[in-house]
Chains A and B, each alone.
Chain A
């Protein structure tokens, strides 16, 4: 049985004027250890779906189960990496990584061991006692990944984690993430609006439609890693997905134009 099952999920946001249907009839099954990207233009509900799996905003109808258990709220079995890093600025790097373990009341020795391993794994040793403000965006996101890995949760949820980084740092962290994923065998659900990023990383890409958010295409990426973004196969898929995403992006743009006209 699949590890994450999204079953007929709907999400409606009630606003004063009218209700916005953010998600409609979403059905997804994600196997353990799978790397799945949710791809689409802004407003397509990909972050809404991720937040539903995280338990921050539960579905209006339908249900999501993890290992057969229905999700009713956030929990450390589904660690989340945010685009804004969300590190605690008053804690040092080591304290940030240790915090989740302290919450779980792990022993001091165990926490130290895990923190040291993760500092090593993500090349953060030199920053152990620094505060987040001293780190670049790329380094902060490494810490955020380490903080989630410390929980040892089987599932990692990532909400456009590399969206704010420059292209080189971004590629570098994508490679790091793949290395860690291959080493630790986590299930990763990764939200992005970058087509290239999704092809570079994912086993499977779920392309979503703009309002209401539905699954437009569930695409398996059958290319060996490391993938070459300049290869023909890569670019064929990029063109194909680009066409799908642009259709939705166009609907998004038309919608905004209509709204502007009403104003």
Chain B
């Protein structure tokens, strides 16, 4: 009951806005090309979601159901985000652990990292195309860069804030260097690392949309740019809505994972 009430309360402003927008479109306030009506956008979104061809006898129903352009695009974008993120985070995590644990390694790498960090991943686009050509590889490269720094910085901070009492307790139990790292420092740093993962995934998702505008021929970023070529404003907005939904889906998934991995953490107490 309370949930329903909250939901209705939260829906008030968006619904009002859509009604105004629709009314404006009907009275001819906005041009069809510049700002299509909400109903036109919704119709296009639905068409974008549905399969392009009719069901063929040789095809399974499920395969047909997901054969629509949108699902294919969403899947392609998601795949790039995950692959690029895994590369970026996979490099950032061990480096961050080492930099956090050892001042010498930190001093060795930190100047380089501080110079590279402010360069937005977008600025790497020309090099990405030169080095990796067309297709997925330049996207992976750009997304990996976008995900790398948030994970790196948070991993370093996470290792540094590990409470010395855990280290003393572990030494007292007789752990060696390796066990100290894997069973004590790494788990103690997870709250920070996961916060970095969440930021990193967010950056990766921004970068994927941009990277799809340059070198590939599917994905949500590609689709809205393609729609622009044909002046399909309704499809651009339908694509943007899909991007928003996919982003929401990714963030919800990461947040669920967070809560599971940090179920021991005091911060989650209510």
- What residues make up the interface of A, taking CB atoms closer than 8 Å to B? 54, 56, 73-76, 78-80, 82, 84, 86-91, 99-100, 103-104, 131-133, 147, 151
Q: Is the CB of B264 within 8 A of A131?
A: yes
Q: Which chain A residue lies CB-closest to B168?
A: A56
Q: Is the CB of B174 within 8 A of A103?
A: yes
CB within 8 Å of A: which B160-191 residues: 165-166, 168-176, 179, 183-184, 187-188, 190
Q: Is the CB of B266 within 8 A of A100?
A: no
Complex Cα–Cα for A56 and B174 (A):
12
Complex Cα–Cα for A83 and B170 (A):
15
Q: B243: shortest Cβ distance to chain A, in Å?
A: 36
Q: Is the CB of B264 within 8 A of A133?
A: yes
The DSSP consensus for interface residues of chain B is helix
Interface range on chain B: under 10, 10 to 19, 20 to 34, or 35 or more? 20 to 34
- What residues make up the interface of B, taking CB atoms closer than 8 Å to A? 165-166, 168-176, 179, 183-184, 187-188, 190, 263-266, 269
Q: Is the CB of A103 within 8 A of B179?
A: yes
- List chain A residues, Cβ under 8 A from B179: 103
Q: Which residue of the partner chain, among B172, B187, B266, contacts A54 with CB atoms under 8 Å?
A: B172
Given contacts A103-B179, A131-B263, A133-B265, is CB(A88)–CB(B190) below 8 Å?
Answer: no
Q: Is the CB of B187 within 8 A of A99?
A: no
Q: A193: shortest Cβ distance to chain B, in Å?
A: 20
Q: Is the CB of A133 within 8 A of B266?
A: yes
Q: Which of A73, A104, A133: most chain B CB closer than 10 A?
A: A133
- 16 more A-B residue pairs beyond the given contacts A76-B174, A99-B183, with a C-beta to C-beta distance below 8 A: A86-B166, A86-B168, A86-B169, A88-B166, A88-B184, A88-B188, A89-B264, A90-B264, A100-B173, A100-B174, A103-B175, A132-B264, A133-B264, A133-B266, A133-B269, A147-B173
Q: Which residue of the partner chain, among B165, B171, B172, contacts A84 with CB atoms under 8 Å?
A: B165
Q: Which chain A residue lies CB-closest to B165?
A: A86
Complex Cα–Cα for A73 and B171 (A):
9
